[in-house]
Structures are given as structure tokens and as C-alpha cells.
Chain A
Amino acid sequence: MSPLTLILTCLAGWLAVGLAGVFFARRFFFVARILFPAGAALAIGVAAAALASIFSDPETAILPLGLPGLPFHLRLDALSAYFLCLLGAVAAGVSIYAAGYLRRREGSATPGQQCLLYHLFLASMCVVLLADDAYVFMVAWESMALSSYFLVTSDHRIAEIRRAGYLYLIVAHIGAIGILLSFGAMSGGEADGYTFAAMRTHELGGWLQSAAFLLALAGFGAKAGLLPLHVWLPEAHPAAPSPVSALMSAVMLKTAIYGLLRVAFDLLPEQQWWWGALLLGLGLATAVFGVVFSTVQSDMKRLLAYSSIENVGLIFAGVGLSLVFAANAMPLLGALALTAALYHCVNHAFFKSLLFLTTGSVLHATGQRNLGRLGGLIHPMPWVAWLALVGVIASAGLPPLNGFVSEWLLLQSFLFTPQLPHGYLNMLLPVAAGAVALIAALAGFAMVKFFGVVFLGQPREEALAQAHDAGTLERIGLVWLAAGCLALGVLPNFVIATLDPVTQLLVGSGFANSAGKGNWLLLAPISEERASYNALIFLGGIVACTGAVFVAVRSLFHGRLRRVDTWDCGHPVAGGRTQDTAEGFGQPIRQVFAPFFRITREHPSPFDREPHYRIVVEDPLWHLLYLPLARLVEFGTRLVGLLQRGRIAIYLMFSFVTLLALLMFTTR
């Protein structure tokens, strides 16, 4: 069986699993404990088939579905295969976790409905990655948006969640319009111009080509959370059930990256360097914005959602840098930057889904999403806490885990920018490298806040001591993803070797052959004198050194220990109220980055018997961009509403006037 057939079989399997969930909706045990693990097995099948096909030639298929005369064109090439691999590997962990996470009565959607929507969501993301014509792409893109919309609003009795879902739906459709128009521009107005194969051959004029790129950027940027179309992301991700948040953040955002790569490198024949510069600037702005906002959040899932915006921004910056190199005929450096971006895609998919799933366990154990009511959970939930620590270290971009490798590659590719022929650009780019360093450091701040406030310290509420650890299936899912973070971190050359066909396809060069030069552990892009990093030795060094110090201290001195009360500096204060709150921990950021926020403070008056201090930190773009836009739309609709009088005589008069006007127009 060819890989494409195998993937399509798995897709059909997902649909069957989803339908089975609806038919056996009353049998909770069957839906949760049998169907979801089956979905996970199919996901592993997709990942394995995609991995097998990544080194082989592209494979195409035409499915006689869709409208008569408009069959579905599918194609599996290296780029699709890489993203399918990401999807399958992450979805396997998330599905296993979801099997343990589902509750009989939670939210308004039954487990059966969730099962259908969840697997439909997976299947449509798969089809997006496989699509080879604009028609099937848009069908899959829309079914992805709709199934995820219904998953986000699965608890639709809560007004806040309905609102979040509505916002998501609007932005998703604005984005879809952009993508559709971009395909329209690339089709060249021909009858069968809607297939990607035809688009590749079209010679577009200069401005039309740039228009197609900009439309695609707007469309895919809206899905990925690029500034200023990011507003839905911090609303929709916290509203969704945690496995869905994980999938949306880990995989759905990556389909947008995939779409942009497909359009910019594959479908459009010539790249302009300023596209790359634009992407780079937008990406860095998004990343700085996302990370600064993630440090001041008090809701743990919103914190992670903003961190996803940051990571998407970094990926876009890498893609932009790669475009700049590729447009200047430097394919090797383009491959380096693109590898960094694609590597970060899979890294982010693993660590962010891990972190979102741990928030799911915390949510089930405590019923709290607010950081101000959590704390000290490492004691009742050691599994979740230690696995979350893996995600936190990876997400903060620290060695020896995976987040560091892609940031290292990105910084390396920035260091080559002085070779560019653009005088001003190559002077701006070191500053951009500084921005990447700042983003990585701030991500560390956000992650310390997340982990420290949720899992460390004293519990801020009495009930937290009764929290329970994750169940077995949840643990399996978490361990799978954490192991992925570790493996991607210590064996980077395997990932880079898999990325080689992708960069060959997109920028016409790969550097897997130059990386390492036979030493399969040493990551050395371009050359070993230039830069090298060996994650396994790094990890081994830390582990060995820690172990040696431990043994030495124990054997040279002693291992005695005494448990005492916390030293209270002579001020006996009971309880966890004296520790930093989430707001307190974010205070330095609010002070340093004050111009980024719209801060409103409510101070208590000195005579208040029950004083309250309230601080609201908002996204200034809401007030600068979205609310004026909404008011404008409202104004327009009110104008249109003038026509609507509610009396039949007036409507008849409208028809009459229209008829008269048409008659005059035609008989003239």
C-alpha cells in the first residue's frame, strides 16, 4: 500500500470513529476508552506513513468526490509529509490523553458529539495538508474552521465561551476570504486554473504576484494569530476543552504556516525579497507582543495562548528570513533559516500541546483556571508537575530540550545576514537577532511564572490540597509528548535529515549533508568551525555532573536532613496569601513595557471598609482597531436598517421603485 493510500485509509478510519461516537453516544466507556485510543492508533499510522513518504517522490491522487466535473486533487510531497508527520505524532498523544480526560457530564456537548467533531477536525486538517487544488483546500479549510468552532463552543451555555467562539468564527472567515482571493489571483482566470499544478505554471505579473502573496499572508496570518489578527486566539484557546486547545495551538496554527509556505515558495514562482522583510518584521512584532502579553496574564490557558502567538511570530520570522535569503539567491542560508522555522513548528507543537494538556489536568483536579487560586500543586500532582516542567523548559528555549535547538538555529541564521547584498537590511538584521534573544528571555519569564505560580509555593486555596493527579491514560499522553520534547532536543540531526527533502523542495538546497559531517550527534550547520552544538553531550554533562556532585557531597559529608517550619523572619503569617500572585509576578513587565498595555487601575478610597484594588490589563489593539471597526460596521448596518420599516406597503414600494428603475434602464 502506498503512503498516500495508507493516510487516506486512516482518514476514513477517523471518520468512522467519529460516526461510531455518535451512534454509541450513550456508551460513555466505549466512546472514551475505546474510540479515542483507536483514533490515536490511526494518528500513529498517519505519522508513520508520512515519515515513510518524506524521502520518496511526490504522489498524487484524484478522488471522484466533490461536485461533478470538479474532483478532489490530492498530493503528498515532502512539505505535506512533514506537516502530516507533525500532526500524527502530536494527535496520537492528545487523543490518548483525551481518552482519559473526557467526562460523562461536562459542558453541553456529549462525549459522542465531541468524538465526532474531534475526529472530523483531525481529518479536515489532514486534507488541508494533502490538498492539491484550491477547491478541496477551501472545503477542508472551512470544515476545519467549523469543526473547531463547535469544539470551542462545546460548553455553549456560558456566554463568555459563545462570545469567544463567535469572534473566532468571524476572524476565521475574514481569513478564508483572503485565502480565496489569493487563489483567485493565482488561478489566472483560466477554467482549470484552480488546481495547484496549474498555479505553479502560471506566469503572474509583478503586482498580481505580490497581491496574491499579501492576500495569502492576511488569510493565513489570521489563522495563525499574526498581528493584528491575533485577537481571537487568546479568547478561543482558553474557552475550548484542553485537548482541543492543545490541537488548535499545536496543529491548526501550523496548517496556516503550511499554507503560507505552500503559496510563497511553491505556488508563486518568483519570490521578492521584501516579502521576506515584511514577514520578518511582522513575525518579530507578533512575537514580542505575544510574549509580553503572556507574562502579564492571570489565566493559565490565556498565558499559554499568548505564548503560542509568540511562537508563531518566531516561526514567521524564520520563514521571512528564509524568503530574504532565497530571493537573494542564497539557497543554503535560506535552507538554514527555513529549517529553523520548520523545526520550531514541530517543537512548538510538542511542548505547547504538553502544556495545554497539563492545564487540563489542573483544571479537572481543581476547577480553577485562574492562577490566583492555584499554587503548590507539585505535592498532590507530581506527575503533572514534573511533566509540565519538561514543557516549561522546552518552551523557555533552554538547553538541552527541543525549544533551544530551533532558537539556536534561528540565531545562527541571523548571524549570516551580513552577507546579504542589501546595505540597510543587513544592518537592521542584527537588531532583529537581538529581538529574538529578548523574546527567548521573556519566554523564560512567562514560563517561570506559569510553573511557579501553578505548581510551586503554598496552595492559595484550601481545596487545592485535595487535588488528584492525572489518570493513567492522561499520563500516557503527557509522557508521549514530553518524550517527544526530549527526543527532538537531543537528536536534532535526525529531524534535520528529515527536513532536507522539504528544504530541497522549497528553496532548492538542504544542508543535512554539511551538518555534522558523519558525526551524527553533532549539530553543525554550514561548518564545524562556524558553530556547533551537541545536545546529547550537553545533557550527559549536566546529568553526570549533577550525579557526581550528589554522590560526592553525600560520601564526603553526610546526608542528614531536618524538616522544620518555614523561616518567617519573625512575622508569623499563616497561609499562602503572602506569596506573589500572578499579577504580582507580572508587575515588573507591566512597569518596563507599560506602553504596550492599556492599563486601568481602581484604587480604594482611604475610608473604604472593604477595600478592593483592581487592575485590568488590556490589549490596546482592541480599542485602537477593533472597536472602531465594529462601530463603523454598526453604523453601516444602521444605515441599511433605515430601509427596514416593517410595513409591507413600504417593501412593496421598494419593489415598485426597483421595477420602474429597471424598466427605465432597459428600455432606454
Chain B
Amino acid sequence: MDIDALLPQFAAQLFELFAALALAPLLTGWVNQWRARLQGRTPPPLLLPYHTLMKLFGKEPLLAHNASSLFRVAPYLIFSCMALAAAIVPTLSSELLFAPAADAIALVGLFALARVFIALAGMDIGTAFGSLGARREMLIGFLAEPALLMVFFTASVISGSTSLATIVDTLAHREFHIYPSLAFAGVAFTMVSIAENGRVPVDNPATHLELTMIHEAMILEYSGRHLALIEWAASLKLFAYSCLGIALFFPFGIAQTLGPGALAIAVALMVGKLALGGFLLALIETLSAKMRVFRTPEFLGSAFLLAVLAVLVHLLLEGSR
């Protein structure tokens, strides 16, 4: 490896990381705005999430007397996991420095690491809500993780690789014929992303109703900068999942070479696709009603089955291509 080749990759990696950090709250604000609009409420300002983050960072965190050091470390760790996840996903370019270090399975592992830490942090104070949220989060986690892996397996059986960069390159450059397996995988992926990001119908990010909350129950004890980091991490997770969906199913326009022109096109296309994706997410959330917690196994079980079906459909129908 020579340094000249590494430098632009490094620059692209940093650019992508900071783009994700900067844009993630915007996506959350955009989804919240559309949700309000579709539900007939006055939309909050688009930049409200930034304002909230700044406010929270400035505040003094209140920490329970029996909070351990794990409780204080967890927000930083969760934030950096999500930032790395957003950096691994080939959002703008597939020529990334970090690409060989982590493939699709490692990405799932990174999400799981963050989930384990947020669940442990939820259990740390020892309140009823914290452990309730932790157990529900782990329930959704163990159902969603296999489904997500099967979606990646579909993509990697098609492209012969689990490296995200190679998957995106293959899928972006294929001759145009429709893969039925990818359609199945796409539906499964959408269901998994809804569950993983705590969206209606699985969880509701806007509620503190004890019967239904999952994510909010775990982070009830957090305040100040810790809460800011966790909120930002949640935005980053939504951003990373949206970018993953785009990279797997609508990869057209992701830069394969590192030039300013290609990157500019990639950024423009990406913003457009994300805006559309955010609108669709708000639409799904508006059109569906929140499920009982014990309906989620059925919801995610069908996502898993669809993803398995996707692999089988590929092996049965598309294997010879």
C-alpha cells in the first residue's frame, strides 16, 4: 500500500464521517417535520434537533447516586459506535479507508455492541423502567439482528462478497435486470430498520407512556451531555440505516472514484434520496398504529422469513445468472 493512494481514501473517509455527524440531526428533523405535517400538526422547525443538542450539551447532567462508571462511559461508547457505523456504510463513495477493516457482518456486530451497552446502561440505575426497556430492547435486538444479517447475506450471495464496498460496486454496476430476491430483502430491511430505530409501529420515539416505550425507557435516567450524545447517536443510527438501505437497494450515483465532481454528484443524489426516504418513513409511521410489544416477534419474524426467502429465491431462480 502506498501513501498516495491512502490519502484520498482517508480524506473521503473523514469527509463521510463528518457529513454523517452533521447531517444526521437534519434527517431526524426532516422526518419529524413530515410526521407533523401528515398528522395535521404544525411542524416543528427543521433545525430543532440541533437546537436541542446544543441545549442539552450546555446543561448540567444529573446523575443518580448509585450510577456506576459504566453508566457514564456508555453514552460516549454508543456515540462512537454509531459514528463508526455511519462511517463504514458507503454513503457517498465506496473507496473508503475503513472499508477493508469492517464488512457487513462487522457492521451488524457494531450495532449489536451499541445495543448491549445501552441495555446495560439502562439496567445500571436499577429502576423498573430501565430494566423493562433493556429487556424489550434486547428482545427486538435478537429478533432483528438475524433478519438484518440475512438481508446482507442476500446481497453478498448476489455479489459474492460481504464487503460493503464490493456489494455496492456490484449492485451499482449490474446490468439492469430486476432481482426478485432484492425486492424481498428490501421489504425485510425496511421492517428491520423500523424496529431497530424505534419507530412506529414497533416503538414510538415521541412517547413516554410506560406500556409502550422501549428506547425511551432505557435512557430515562440520562440528562445533559449524556442525553445529548445518546440522542445524537440515535439520529446517527437512523442516518446509517437510511444510507444502508440506499446503498443496498438504490446505489446509483455512489462515487466509485474519488474526484470532486463525482463526490458533488454523490452528495446531491444522496440528499435527494434521503429526503425521499425520510418522507416515506414519516408516511409509514403515520399510516400504521403502534403494536403491542408481543406482536413484534411476529412482525420481525416475518421480516426474517422474507429475508430467508430472498436468499432462497436467489439460489433457486437467479443462481444460473
What B residues does A592 contact at CB under 8 A?
139, 143, 297
Q: Is B61 an interface residue (CB 8 A)?
A: yes
Q: Is the CB of A541 within 8 A of B84?
A: yes
Can you report 23 residue pairs joining A to B where beta carbons are below 8 Å apart?
Answer: A376-B126, A393-B113, A408-B105, A412-B162, A415-B156, A415-B157, A430-B315, A441-B112, A442-B142, A448-B119, A451-B120, A452-B131, A458-B66, A538-B102, A553-B57, A553-B76, A564-B65, A566-B126, A567-B64, A580-B128, A580-B131, A580-B132, A585-B134
> In whole angstroms, how far apart are the Cα atoms of A26 and B68 in the complex?
43
Q: Is B100 an interface residue (CB 8 A)?
A: yes
Q: Is B216 an interface residue (CB 8 A)?
A: no
Task: Name B54-83 residues within 8 Å CB distance of A.
Answer: 57-58, 60-66, 68, 70, 73, 76-77, 79-81, 83
Residue positions of B touching A, CB distance < 8 A = 1, 57-58, 60-66, 68, 70, 73, 76-77, 79-81, 83-84, 98, 100-103, 105-106, 109-110, 112-113, 115-116, 119-120, 123-132, 134-136, 138-139, 141-143, 145-146, 149-150, 153, 156-157, 160-163, 166, 220-221, 225, 229, 294, 297, 304, 307-308, 311-312, 315-316, 319
B230 to chain A, nearest CB (A): 12
> In whole angstroms, how far apart are the Cα atoms of A556 and B120 in the complex?
28
A580 to chain B, nearest CB (A): 4
Q: Is the CB of B113 within 8 A of A375?
A: no
> In whole angstroms, how far apart are the Cα atoms of A458 and B221 in the complex?
14
Q: Is the CB of A541 within 8 A of B120?
A: no
What B residues does A528 contact at CB under 8 A?
100, 163
> In whole angstroms, how far apart are the Cα atoms of A124 and B163 in the complex?
45
What A residues does B160 contact at CB under 8 A?
530
B9 to chain A, nearest CB (A): 13
Q: Is the CB of B109 within 8 A of A566?
A: no
Segment of A28-36, A396-404, A624-632, A654-662 in the binding face: A396-404
Given pairs A378-B124, A534-B100, 10 additional interface contacts (CB within 8 A): A378-B68, A396-B116, A415-B162, A448-B120, A528-B100, A545-B79, A562-B62, A567-B64, A567-B220, A576-B126
List 9 tightest A-B contacts by C-beta distance, closest first. A457-B126, A545-B80, A458-B126, A580-B131, A452-B123, A441-B142, A437-B146, A534-B101, A441-B145
Q: Is the CB of B80 within 8 A of A398?
A: no
What B residues does A530 contact at CB under 8 A?
160-163, 166
Closest A-chain residue to B228, C-beta based?
A553
Which listed residue, A396, A444, A533, A579, touches B127 by the CB 8 Å rule?
Answer: A579
Which listed residue, B105, B113, B139, touches A411 by the CB 8 Å rule?
Answer: B105
Which listed residue, A548, A561, A569, A591, touches B63 by the CB 8 Å rule?
Answer: A561
Q: Is the CB of A440 within 8 A of B145?
A: yes
Which listed residue, B66, B132, B142, touches A438 by the CB 8 Å rule?
Answer: B142
Q: Is the CB of B157 within 8 A of A418?
A: yes
Closest A-chain residue to B156, C-beta based?
A415
Residue positions of A touching B, CB distance < 8 A = 375-376, 378-379, 389, 393, 396-399, 404, 408, 411-412, 415, 418, 426-427, 430-431, 433-434, 437-438, 440-442, 444-445, 447-449, 451-453, 456-458, 519, 522, 524, 528-534, 537-538, 541-542, 545-546, 548-550, 553, 556-558, 560-569, 573, 576, 578-580, 584-585, 587-589, 591-592
What A residues does B123 contact at CB under 8 A?
448, 452-453, 456-457, 579-580
B110 to chain A, nearest CB (A): 7
- Whether A399 contacts B65 in the complex (CB less than 8 A), given A557-B58, A576-B126, A578-B127, comes out as no
What B residues does A578 contact at CB under 8 A?
127-128
Q: Is the CB of B106 within 8 A of A549?
A: no
Closest A-chain residue to B129, C-beta based?
A569
Closest A-chain residue to B310, C-beta based?
A430
Q: Is the CB of B98 within 8 A of A537?
A: yes
- Whether A437 contacts B116 in the complex (CB less than 8 A), given A564-B65, A578-B128, comes out as no
Closest B-chain residue to A457, C-beta based?
B126
What B residues does A562 contact at CB under 8 A?
60-63
> In whole angstroms, how far apart are the Cα atoms of A589 and B128 in the complex?
19
Q: Is the CB of B103 within 8 A of A532?
A: yes
> In whole angstroms, how far apart are the Cα atoms of A451 and B84 in the complex?
25
- Whether A375 contacts B105 in the complex (CB less than 8 A), given A434-B150, A545-B80, comes out as no
> In whole angstroms, how far apart are the Cα atoms of A528 and B225 in the complex?
40
Closest B-chain residue to A426, C-beta based?
B315
Q: Is the CB of B319 within 8 A of A418?
A: yes
- Whether A553 contacts B229 in the complex (CB less than 8 A), given A430-B308, A438-B146, comes out as yes
What A residues does B100 contact at CB under 8 A?
522, 524, 528, 532, 534
What A residues does B124 contact at CB under 8 A?
378, 456-457
Q: Is the CB of A448 within 8 A of B304?
A: no
What B residues does A545 contact at CB under 8 A?
79-80, 83-84
- Whether A398 contacts B229 in the complex (CB less than 8 A), given A579-B131, A580-B131, comes out as no
Closest A-chain residue to B123, C-beta based?
A452
What A residues does B73 contact at CB under 8 A?
546
- Whether A456 contacts B126 in the complex (CB less than 8 A), given A430-B315, A431-B308, A564-B63, comes out as yes
> In whole angstroms, how far apart are the Cα atoms of A448 and B115 in the complex?
10
Closest A-chain residue to B82, C-beta based?
A545
What B residues does A441 contact at CB under 8 A?
112, 141-143, 145-146
- Whether A532 contacts B220 in the complex (CB less than 8 A), given A415-B153, A588-B139, comes out as no
> In whole angstroms, how far apart are the Cα atoms of A358 and B133 in the complex?
26
Closest B-chain residue to A540, C-beta based?
B101
A545 to chain B, nearest CB (A): 3
Closest A-chain residue to B64, C-beta based?
A566
